[in-house]
Amino acid sequence: MELFTNQVLAGIATGAIYACMALAVVMIYQAIDHLNFAQGEMAMFSTFISWQLMQWGIPYWGAFIIALALSFVGGIAIERILFKPLAKAPVLTNVAGFIALYAIINSSAGLIWDFTIKQYPTPFGSAPFLGSQLISTHQAGMIGVTVLLLIGLYFFFQYTRIGLAMRAAASVPESARLVGINTSWMIALGWGMASAIGAIAGMLIAPVVFLEPNMMGGVLIYGFAAAVLGGLTSPFGAVVGGFLVGIFENLAGTYIPGVGNELKLPIALALIISVLVVKPAGLFGRYIVKRV
């Protein structure tokens, strides 16, 4: 039983990261209707920036804030420079653009910081949490930061003018434009926020997976899976999906014989597909009714 609780709690902790990633994916999906395949690499780059700042002697939280701000600006810049010209291009062309961005970021990070694995500090420490053997303080910190982020986003979208404008621009761009919302900048803002959220996920997971240019590959796939499982139209669903995927991944790795680390990912994906076959729009997604 202790093993079970332990695995579930560890699942919730990694699930928190998947939830962040999924949230970033959904933010961009809502804004431009595309899955950003380079999301993980963007997060990795932000994490490297914060690491570099710490190497230069800036304390953890200072580096954290600066990296967030830089990621926000960087996300907006990527949208303005690279993807705005592609807005009218076919969907598959956009996907190719994301793959190109992935290659560019991954290769540049490798050149700047090389491919050796680096230690990344945790601000929470790695002692057991409140004397309990089940969960470390870093894992608890990961969950805590994610929950804070979610609450913050909820208030931003529900109670601020700009949050409302972003939601309007995402759901009905034409009408939003008619009431004077600059939808083009709302999209850029979505990119900036997604980039910053991804950076948080990266900086939280880095002490666990260690810092290197390919560290987000696996995390992004789980993030996608979580977003799709919860429903791409629902940020809330994405978060729930993240936790579910985290827990399931851990339990499958522990209890299904022969799964181990190698087959964890395919099994998790297989489960998600079975869910999707029953509920094609995801657990919390909106069904779009088509008129015949």
Partner 1 sequence: MSAVEDVVTEAPAVEAVPKRAMTLGTGTSVVVLLLLIAIPLFAKNFVIFQLTQLLYLGLAVLALNILTGGSGQFSLGQSAFYAIGAYVTAVMMEAFNVNYVLCLPVAGVLCFGVGFLFGQPALRLSGVYLALATFALATAMPQLLKLNFLEHWTGGVQGLVVTKPDAPFGLPMSQDMWLYYFTLVVVLAIYIFSVNLLRSRSGRAFMAIRDNEIAASAMGINVALYKTLAFGVSAAITGVAGGLSAIAVQFVAPDSFTITLAIQLFLGMVVGGVGWLPGSIVGAAFIIFVPNIAEGISKGLSGAVFGVLLFLVIYLVPHGARQVAILGQQLAGRLRKN
Binding site for partner 1 (CB under 8 A): 33-35, 82, 85-86, 89-93, 95-97, 99-104, 106-108, 110-111, 221, 224-225, 228, 232, 262-263, 265-266, 269-270, 272-273, 276-277, 280-282, 288, 290, 292
Report the phi/psi class of residue 114: left, alpha or beta, with left for phi > 0 and alpha for psi in -120 to 50. Answer: left
SS3 211: strand
Q: Report DSSP state, residue 228.
A: H
CB of 222 vs partner 1, minimal distance in Å? 11
**Closest distance between partner 1 and the C-beta of residue 159, in Å?**
28
CA distance linking residue 260 with residue 245, whole number of Å: 16
Whole-number Cα distances in Å, 189 to 137, 156, 173 = 33, 13, 15
Q: Which is nearer to partner 1, 129 or 224 (CB)?
A: 224
> Smallest distance, Å, CB 231 to partner 1?
10
Q: Closest distance between partner 1 and the C-beta of residue 253, in Å?
A: 13
Q: Phi, psi at residue 179, to the nearest 5°?
A: -90, 15
Smaller CB distance to partner 1: residue 142 or 226? Answer: 226
Q: Please say which residue, 94 or 250, places its beta carbon nearer to partner 1.
A: 94
Compute the Cα dihedral for 117, 122, 127, 132 and give only its sign: negative
Closer CB to partner 1, 112 or 148, in the complex: 112
Q: Given the complex with partner 1, which of 178 and 292 has the nearer CB atom?
A: 292
Nearer to partner 1, 64 or 83 (CB): 83
* DSSP per-residue string spanning 114-169: -SS-B----SS-SSBGGG-SS-BHHHHHHHHHHHHHHHHHHHHHHH-HHHHHHHHH
Q: Provide, rounded to whole angstroms, the least separation between the CB of residue 106 and partner 1.
A: 6
Give min distance, CB of 32 to partner 1, in A. 10
SS3 111: helix
